Amino acid sequence: MDMSIFREYDIRGIFEENLTKQSVFGIGALLGQRILSAGECAVAIGYDARTHSPILYEWLKDGFMASGVEVYFMGMIPTPVAYFATFHEIDSGVSAIKSSVMITGSHNPPQYNGFKITISQKPFYGEQIKALGVELAGLLEQGKLAYTASSVQAKPLNALEAYQDFLVAHFKKLEGFPYEVVFDYGNGVGAIGLESVLARLGIKHVSLYETPDGTFPNHHPDPSEEKNLADVKATMKERKIPIGIAFDGDADRVALMSENHNYKGDEMAILFARDMAKSIARPIVIGEVKCSQVMYDEINAIGQAVMYKTGHSNLKTKLKELNAHLAAEMSGHLFFHDRYFGYDDALYAGLRALELFVDSTPAQIESAINALPKLYSTDEEKIATTEEKKFTQITALKSALVNPPSSFPHIREIIDIDGVRVVFDEGWALVRASNTTPVLVTRFEATSQEALARYKDQVLSLLQSLN
């Protein structure tokens, strides 16, 4: 049993290498037990465009049915539709199904796949996933879990149509939207959810790579990587279209562009918070440890900003705990709890972004961002390591920062809610262990290029000296 598939936020691995028929069946069977223990009796399952998703569905379905859980099948859908299904009675005569599994490899390469899990409307993650992995490994080792094919068919659940009807009703304000928009779906499943909504709202648009194709023949479906936005930017320039939006493979992350700017997740959070402040007294917004200090300062001026751990499951949980209005990740995960249900939905977020342009022109939105205090920052930079070493490296760095070298910049504060965010006099540095890949993630920000270079050099040198 390859325990590396049991990640912090989901279960993810390589088809037929560590996502095998036996292991996937076992995952379904054990998740079924947990759903029954939560007082539920049914699960809704959907999948993305990857070529092996239908096979994984059959294996997973049989596992759930072996546990006695009733299975409803949603077909090929965007990930947010699987979340949406747990908050709505979709079909008449079907009581609310509060648990779901989305079969998706998100933005990983084509050979990857996995499971994003919701039980009783809450993310199933962290220690819950790890405990499931340990239990499954024990059962397989003891030979106590035999694959059993079920002759019972899953029941269909038309969650996609209900989701689309909701979006059309929710975004009536966008009827007659004054600008044309470029949408890049990256051959993921976003178009399945959004194209009919755009047509029904009458939003003029150009679609790129809207046909789902799990081999991703045009570009990798990760909009947080600048190189993957080249086609949408070229189309905007060539056709003089002022707004561009791109999605990842399963449509839970979004990128927003206008003519002269690519909006990061923390910049979108500022824009959305300011918009919310028109109707909400002091909105509460949660950011992750990679977000700019500018975001925290600007949101604290009109509401309350909270720094928390990276990760969609972490932020969904914290959002509900604080009853906050919005949470945001740099990578484009946006979680609206204002007017919505508090999970990351890139299609919904894209339409919320268009609402910003109803009352303000693209140039005015750009000006609002350009008027923010100027800081210099690096992109997310990754340092290769191993699954075994990455967390011990963070522990060693924390210890070294207690008594750093005499030449080290003055430390004002150390924030250790997720890795180490070191606050200096003129900026900050972040080093954290990725919860999904064997890398350390770094980011640096400062008031000048000189300070940025100094902080980066000093922190990376200290980290290297610990190896």
pLDDT-derived band at 90 (thresholds 50, 70, 90) equals: confident
- Model pLDDT for residues 245-264, shown as the tens digit of each residue: 999 999 999 999 999 999 99
Angle between helices 190-201 and 346-359 (to 10 degrees): 30
pLDDT for 106 beyond 90: no
Residue 91: per-residue pLDDT: 76
Give catalytic status of residue 12 as yes or no. yes
With tokens 């890398």, the residue in question is: 439
pLDDT-derived band at 459 (thresholds 50, 70, 90) equals: very high
Q: What's the 3-state SS for the chain?
A: CCHHHECCCCEEEEECCCECHHHHHHHHHHHHHHHHHCCCCEEEEEECCCCCHHHHHHHHHHHHHHHCCEEEEEEECCHHHHHHHCCCCCCCCCCCCCCEEEECCCCCCCCEEEEEEEECCEECCCHHHHHHHHHHHHHHHCCCCCCCCCCCCCEECCHHHHHHHHHHHHCHHHCCCCCCEEEECCCCCHHHHHHHHHHHHCCCEEEECCCCCCCCCCCCCCCCCHHHHHHHHHHHHHHCCCEEEEECCCCCCEEEEECCEEECHHHHHHHHHHHHCCCCCCCEEEEECCCCHHHHHHHHHHCEEEEECCCHHHHHHHHHHHCCCEEECCCCCEEECCCCCCCECHHHHHHHHHHHHHHCCHHHHHHHHHCCCCCEECCCEEEECCCCCHHHHHHHHHHHHHCCCCCCCCEEEEECCCCEEEEECCEEEEEEECCCCCEEEEEEEECCHHHHHHHHHHHHHHHHHCC
Q: What mean pLDDT comes out for the span 29-34? A: 98
State what percent of residues in the chain have pLDDT above 70: 99
Which CATH number does 171-370 carry? 3.40.120.10
Which listed residue (106, 224, 292, 313) is catalytic? Answer: 106
State what percent of residues in the chain have pLDDT above 90: 92
Does the fold of domain 171-370 match that of domain 3-159?
yes
pLDDT for 436 beyond 90: no
pLDDT-derived band at 435 (thresholds 50, 70, 90) equals: confident
pLDDT-derived band at 203 (thresholds 50, 70, 90) equals: very high
Q: What mean pLDDT comes out for the span 219-228? A: 93
Q: What mean pLDDT comes out for the span 325-336? A: 97
Residue 388: per-residue pLDDT: 87
Which listed residue (7, 253, 312, 333) is catalytic? Answer: 333
Report d(CA 460, CA 431) in Å as an integer.
9
CA distances from 324 to 131, 344, 384, 459 (A): 29, 14, 35, 33
Residue 92: per-residue pLDDT: 60
- Model pLDDT for residues 124-167, shown as the tens digit of each residue: 999 999 999 999 999 999 999 999 999 888 999 999 999 999 99
pLDDT for 391 beyond 80: yes
Which listed residue (12, 34, 52, 219) is catalytic? Answer: 12
Q: What mean pLDDT comes out for the span 29-39? A: 97
Residue 274: per-residue pLDDT: 98
- Encoded tokens for 356: 């910003």
| Domain regions of the chain by residue span | 3-159, 171-370, 376-465
Q: What mean pLDDT comes out for the span 387-402? A: 95
Domain 376-465 fold is: TATA-Binding Protein (3.30.310)
- Model pLDDT for residues 274-329, shown as the tens digit of each residue: 999 999 999 999 999 999 999 999 999 999 999 999 999 999 999 999 999 999 99
Per the prediction, the chain carries an average pLDDT of: 96
Q: What's the 3-state SS for 269-300?
A: HHHHHHHHCCCCCCCEEEEECCCCHHHHHHHH
Q: Does domain 3-159 have CATH number 3.40.120.10?
A: yes
Residue 151: per-residue pLDDT: 87
* Residue 186 Rama label (left phi>0; alpha psi -120 to 50; beta): left
Residue 93: per-residue pLDDT: 64
pTM score, two decimals? 0.95
